[in-house]
Amino acid sequence: MNTIIQVNSKRIKIDLSKPLDISMPLRALTSNANAWYLEPPKIEPVIIDDWVASVKEGAAVNFNNIYFNPHAHGTHTECVGHITEKFYSINKCLKRFMFTAEVISVAPEVVGEDRVISKNQIEYLLKRKSPEAIVIRTMPNTKDKKAKQYSHTNWPYLTEEAAHFIREKGILHLLIDLPSVDKEKDDGQLLAHKAFWDVNRKIRTEATITEFIYVPNKVEDGSYVLNLQIAPFENDATPSKPVLYKIE
């Protein structure tokens, strides 16, 4: 089902019948991907007196409460409000949902006790392209990412120089398969977040960071159209469902 769409003044052919979902589902399980030292998410039926909102328990409907943190419990998209005193809502900052995107696979470099994604790696893999969004898949890429417990693991992260380069390329949307673009324990410096959003100069309120994605190995490096779907939370971050379409 080939369709011609216009993305930022470019006419692009994609097949809408072949979506490539790069989100992770949120599950009420200990095997749900997790970070930031929190308990797993909970999905539980409402209980009012003797009434349990579960069909299995005799109710007419299933009627669940969901307890989770978007930053810790799965694929989420955040705006600059994640790191500013002033309130910014992702539901207000993200106004378009279709973007040109480039998928790249990166093997983080070992620097001391850390593993980092450097500016030189990003620059080399982009090959002078300037997409609206960059999708970073870290290597090795195994399915255990979807159940990994990241707390206290010192996961790989973007260097400040790499984030600055991505910003200077004009890339507005940064997607990565890690809990954060920054080092797990960095004393609150948040160097990559700050460099990407340019918080010390002219804040890029329209720019977003999506973390905790999972890019299956069947998705090849290259050019795509990204459909960045979010839940309409008035919050700095929201669960999201990024979907790629290969450019025909």
**pLDDT higher than threshold 80 for residue 1:** no
Tell me, yes or no, whether 96 lies in a domain.
yes
Per-residue model confidence as pLDDT tens digits over 134-188: 999 999 999 999 999 999 999 999 999 999 999 999 999 999 999 999 999 999 9
**pLDDT confidence bin for 224, thresholds 50/70/90:** very high
DSSP state of 23: -
Domain that holds residue 148: 2-23+76-246
**pLDDT, tens digit, 9 for 90 and up, residues 57-94:** 999 999 999 999 999 999 999 999 999 999 999 999 99
Residue 53 lies in a domain: no
Give me the DSSP letters along 200-241.
TSS--TT-EEEES----TTS-SEEEEEEEEE---SSSEEEEE
Residue 10 lies in a domain: yes
Predicted structure pTM score? 0.96
The verdict on residue 56 lying in a domain is no
Output the domain CATH number for residue 218: 3.50.30.50
In a domain, 61, yes or no: no
Positive or negative torsion for Cα 195, 201, 203, 207? negative
Overall number of domains in the chain: 1
